[in-house]
Amino acid sequence: MQKIDVCISPELLHLYNIENSIVVVVDIFRATSCMTTAFANGVEAIIPVSTIEECVSYQQKGYLAAAERDGKTPEGFDFDNSPFSYMVEKVNGATICVTTTNGTLAITKSKSAVKVMVGAFLNLGALASYLKDQQYDILVLCAGWKGKPNLEDTLFAGALVERLQEEFMVEDDSALMALRQYELAKNDLLSFVASSSHVKRLQRLGIQKDIAYCLQQDLYDVLPVMRGNTLVKM
Amino acid sequence: MQKIDVCISPELLHLYNIENSIVVVVDIFRATSCMTTAFANGVEAIIPVSTIEECVSYQQKGYLAAAERDGKTPEGFDFDNSPFSYMVEKVNGATICVTTTNGTLAITKSKSAVKVMVGAFLNLGALASYLKDQQYDILVLCAGWKGKPNLEDTLFAGALVERLQEEFMVEDDSALMALRQYELAKNDLLSFVASSSHVKRLQRLGIQKDIAYCLQQDLYDVLPVMRGNTLVKM
């Protein structure tokens, strides 16, 4: 029986053997929620890059580009890192270059996995249905906040563990803790996360609407997956 | 108002600024539970070292010595890493050299803190009473298992956060998650931890009695603290 583990921070990824695993990267507020929304709105491909400079150079080549650092958008980019900014006509068929504080780093760190997918509450159901039939172990990689674990990514990990616990072994303590945290929170995710440090930080940035949106489950059935250096729809 | 944070693994310690903090190191199964028991039984001092070799060289100089790797005791040492092995006459007044897989490493990594203390459920109440009056931030450092978070250390962190939440700010998501995990578990810690990977590993080693013992709260009022390279009673 395959297993499902949870890596609570990209800084711990070296402790997990991902060579035979599908890695599901999650950064609920807001990188992977944005990516999922972008694909649901017709984006063709997303190129995750590590630095602002790389992102600018893609933009200069004519790509649309999105950047975020510390929850804010540097000037001159095409999106403001809110999922709502991807609900526009211009994204249809486009390839977008993206760099964020935590999410894109987690993706680029996972390259040795069998497959790297992007998860969010928005596509949780589609992701769980797809993963149920896979013959590999699964590692949910929480992007966290600058290396520290955060509540919302852990809750997503717990939600995915809950949906897959019949088909996969749950042995890892981080996975068990995430599952129990999610069970505690699931009837009212929004109130539960209201106390988290990251949400307080985001609320100071005035994005309550984004927060509520990113906690909605099963809005889209898109499955973003890495092919080479590019994220595409499966 | 000072704050209390939780570092879920020694591998994340570099992300926390501990220069103005008291660090409480916890390794419930079994290093810090053993240390607390040892002091309660009259041990004078404990010298935590990183390697088996260092530990042997102390033993050759005439110290009592305890070593553990992967939950087992290498041959030739004076204690078998069960807290019960410290409930013997010979420890009275002794200085003991100790090396363990996770616990001693967490202690040696914390040296830049204002103060490094050792915590266990066994001395939780005494520790909380002492810390309540301190003017520094507190960081609970979970020893975990080879870099990965584990349930029992996280639960201890949550227990200490619960006891100190009136006096210290709880802002960090890891601290909030530990607190909630503990609230869920506290009425029956033993059953709650029975599902954890580490406990299953330990049960295979036949130490159910140690597990039940290490989850008891407030048995002792000793406060082990580092002075230089040595752990002593405060």
Q: What is the pLDDT of residues A45-96, one digit of tens each?
A: 999 998 999 999 999 999 999 998 887 888 899 998 899 999 999 999 999 9
Mean pLDDT confidence for B226-231: 95
Q: Is A26 helix (H, G, I), strand (E, B) or coil?
A: strand
Query: Least CA distance to B150: which residue of chain A?
Result: A173
Give percent of chain A above pLDDT 90: 81
Mutate: best of A14, A170, A173, partner B, most B CBs <10 A: A173
Is pLDDT of B204 > 80? Answer: no
pLDDT at B159: 98
Mean pLDDT confidence for A207-230: 95
Task: In whole angstroms, give the CA distance from residue B3 to residue B130.
Answer: 15
Q: In sequence order, which ranges of B165-214 are alpha helices (DSSP H)?
A: 173-185, 189-193, 197-204, 208-214
Size of interface A-B (CB pairs under 8 A): 74
Q: Are B144 and A174 in contact (CB under 8 A)?
A: no
Residues 99-158 of B with CB under 8 A from A: 145-151, 154
Q: Where are the domains of chain B?
A: 4-233
Give DSSP secondary structure letters for A114-135. SEEEEE-GGGHHHHHHHHHT-S
Determine phi and psi for B13, rounding to 5 degrees.
-60, -30
Residue written as tokens 């204002």?
Answer: B114
Tokens at residue A74, please?
């540097």
Cα distances from A204 to residues A34, A87, A200, A207, B178, in angstroms, run 19, 24, 6, 8, 25
Task: Give the long-range contacts of residues B86-92, CB within 8 A, separation 24 or more.
Answer: B86/B34, B86/B37, B86/B38, B86/B41, B86/B43, B87/B37, B87/B41, B88/B41, B90/B64, B91/B38, B91/B41, B91/B42, B91/B43, B91/B64, B92/B41, B92/B42, B92/B43
Task: In whole angstroms, give the CA distance from residue A164 to residue A177.
Answer: 15
Is pLDDT of A232 > 80? Answer: yes
The closest of B181, B2, B159, B223 to A8, measured between CA atoms, is: B181
- Answer whether A8 sits within 8 Å of B197, measured CB to CB: no
What share of residues in chain A are helix, strand, coil (percent, to 5)? Answer: 45, 20, 35
Q: What is the DSSP letter of B65?
A: E
Q: Is A222 helix (H, G, I), strand (E, B) or coil?
A: coil
pLDDT at A184: 95
Contacts of A146 in chain B (CB under 8 A): 15
pLDDT at B18: 97
When CB atoms are compared, the residue of A177, A195, A196 closest to B181 is: A177
pLDDT at B80: 80
Of A57-71, A192-206, A216-230, give the lowest mean pLDDT range.
A192-206
Mean pLDDT confidence for B75-100: 93
- Answer whether B8 sits within 8 Å of A11, measured CB to CB: no
Determine phi and psi for B231, rounding to 5 degrees.
-90, 125
Tokens at residue A95, please?
């390839």
pLDDT at A43: 97
Is pLDDT of B171 > 90? Answer: no
The closest of B117, B114, B111 to B39, measured between CA atoms, is: B117
pLDDT at A94: 96
Query: Least CA distance to A154: which residue of chain B?
Result: B177
Question: What CATH architecture does domain A4-233 belong to?
Answer: Alpha-Beta Complex (3.90)
pLDDT band for position A187 (cuts 50, 70, 90): very high
The residue type at B76: G
pLDDT at B169: 95
Contacts of B189 in chain A (CB under 8 A): none
When CB atoms are compared, the residue of A11, A151, A154 closest to B11 is: A11
When CB atoms are compared, the residue of A172, A177, A196 closest to B154 is: A177
